[in-house]
Structure 1
Amino acid sequence: MLQPLVAVSTDVRQFENYTWHAAPQQYLEAAITGAGVLPVLVPSFGARLDLDQLVASVDGVMITGSKSNVHPSLYGGDPSEANGPYDASRDATTLPLIRKAIDHGVPLLAICRGIQELNVALGGTLAAEIQEREGSLDHRAPASDSQDERFALRQAVRIKPDSCLAGVFGAGEIKVNSVHRQAVDRLGDRLEIEAVAEDGTVEAVSVKGARAFAVGVQWHPEYWVKSDDASARVFKAFGDAVREHAAARAAARQAAE
């Protein structure tokens, strides 16, 4: 089988006097080495893209993390400079792309900002500056110039029994990194909780009744995919689902010939 294609979200950034549509290398590397797929960057042009054609042409969708936040107007919140930065072009692309992937039964992996986009796309809301909530852990990255220290595996999450991720990790807890300051608040329609942190923060969700793997995680498995077993398992599960979808598409084409 040919290496299956996976659509990957992009951020819109301004530098070097150009507008760039880009994704961090860690996600692309994890897609190739961890999931065994070929990542294809999707420019954030919103309604100008034929997303039905896109999801019909790929075998998976991966929504990456980002420094930017989903614009609060999309879930009834109030935008502020403190809650930013925002990326409206990304929002206009990823939210409908997520819904299209689910509707078409295309495997979906949503990471960090991605789980927040997944929640908003399905009608949920987000809580900002969660470290200020009473009883909450500080889920922000440690202050450091070292990325390895910022993305260190330091928080435990509890996997819900009999969930999709219980089939990936087994029962019990895994240790993850934590680099976020907002999180799922009201859970979106069709979503169910897969894992929570010690303070109850939602750390993973899945789409109820999805025809394929459709999971969002709040942590960053892409960073340690080559050295951490739990991180590697996330991408292996996604890659296996992508290959299953590719095989089904190939069988359908053969049957139609």
Structure 2
Amino acid sequence: MNRKANQPLVAVSTDVRQFEDACWHAVQQRYLEAALDTAGVFPVLVPSFGGRLDFDELLAGVDGVMITGSDSNVHAALYDGDASEANGPYDVARDATTLPLIRKAIDCGVPLLAICRGMQEMNVALGGSLATEIQERPGSLDHRAPESGSWDEWFAIRHAVAIEPGGCLASVLGPRGIRVNSLHRQAVKRMSTRLQVEATAEDGTIEAVSVRDSLAFALGVQWHPEYWVKSDEASSRVFRAFGEEVRFHARARTRVPPAAV
């Protein structure tokens, strides 16, 4: 079997964590399972080494990029925000890796799926800014996870989002609204001019974006489709669509041009 065509490689972002006095570059298993089992791609973890990595070489060897969510926030200094500890925790090594990787993937036409923090990174990478502690805004929903409970309770599907007609997300899910989970304190404030809105919550929070001038699929969602991918049709469709775009990119790269006449 041709693995490149049937199960192409997808670069996956990692968080930098400290466990038992050691530094780890890690990602939650649910992202990897959703990529492998639903998108049908081969996830490859990218260490958060920032400028020590050759992103051109990386993107020459993969056919997709997935930027995961995290409980850390994009460092506010990257968009002239309030870089206080109250707006943390931060992961500057991840920021130094994901932001250039996102820009390079878009410029190279490599399919991109960005989830929660990943969508916020997309916006910052392309020149936008973020609002912090959005639950404190007048009229805002509380988009944070419950303070206690099980994983299923934290990731429970909680609120509706309206999908913009005619966009990338509508082509994946259809024009009808869906319900999603919500586990974030930050959200898009000033949206990059390179992005367009794909979905919004009832309080106006931007819930999904795509890249206007992208050469390939480039979608960011503020919720966590990886968690319910096996039981929620909308979540599954997001990953299936990403997998289809990755395989299309893989076939296009490996297609042998016709012989000159």
Using the alignment, how far apart are the partners of 1:33 and 1:47 within structure 2?
31
1:104 paired residue number: 108
2:234 paired residue number: 230
Using the alignment, how far apart are the partners of 1:71 and 1:8 within structure 2?
20
Deviation at 1:145, TM superposition (A): 2.5
Taking the TM superposition and a 5 Å limit, the aligned residue runs for 1:155-234 are 155-234=159-238
Using the alignment, how far apart are the partners of 1:136 and 1:177 within structure 2?
15
Taking the TM superposition and a 5 Å limit, the aligned residue runs for 1:1-257 are 1-2=2-3, 3-251=7-255, 254-255=256-257
Partner of 1:134, secondary structure, is coil
Q: Deviations over 1:161-207 (max 9, x none)?
A: 10111111111210000011110000013100000000000000000
Using the alignment, how far apart are the partners of 1:173 and 1:80 within structure 2?
36
Partner of 2:87, secondary structure, is coil
**Corresponding letter in the other structure for 1:175:** R
**Corresponding letter in the other structure for 1:58:** V
TM-score (structure 2 length as normaliser): 0.96
Aligned length: 255
Q: Deviations over 1:91-130 (max 9, x none)?
A: 0000000000000000000000000000000000000000
Taking structure 1 as reference, are residues 256 and 46 closer, same or farther at Cα in structure 2, changes over 3 Å only? Answer: farther
Using the alignment, how far apart are the partners of 1:57 and 1:205 within structure 2?
26
Using the alignment, how far apart are the partners of 1:29 and 1:186 within structure 2?
33
Deviation at 1:13, TM superposition (A): 0.5
**Corresponding letter in the other structure for 2:243:** G
**Corresponding letter in the other structure for 2:242:** F
**Corresponding letter in the other structure for 1:14:** Q
Could you list the runs of 4 or more consecutive aligned residues of structure 1 that deviate by over 4 angstroms after TM superposition? none
Partner of 2:257, secondary structure, is helix
Deviation at 1:134, TM superposition (A): 0.5
Using the alignment, how far apart are the partners of 1:245 and 1:67 within structure 2?
31
Identity %: 71
Using the alignment, how far apart are the partners of 2:20 and 2:143 within structure 1?
32
Unaligned runs of 5+ in 2: none
The RMSD of aligned alpha carbons is 1.1
TM-score (structure 1 length as normaliser): 0.97
**Corresponding letter in the other structure for 2:19:** F
Using the alignment, how far apart are the partners of 1:34 and 1:201 within structure 2?
28
Deviation at 1:31, TM superposition (A): 0.4
**Corresponding letter in the other structure for 1:213:** F
Partner of 2:113, secondary structure, is strand
Using the alignment, how far apart are the partners of 2:155 and 2:25 within structure 1?
24
Q: More deviation in 205-214 or 138-147?
A: 138-147
Using the alignment, how far apart are the partners of 2:119 and 2:76 within structure 1?
15
Q: Deviations over 1:26-78 (max 9, x none)?
A: 10011011100000000000000000111111000000000111111100112
Deviation at 1:256, TM superposition (A): 8.8
Using the alignment, how far apart are the partners of 1:131 and 1:256 within structure 2?
57
Using the alignment, how far apart are the partners of 1:144 and 1:197 within structure 2?
24
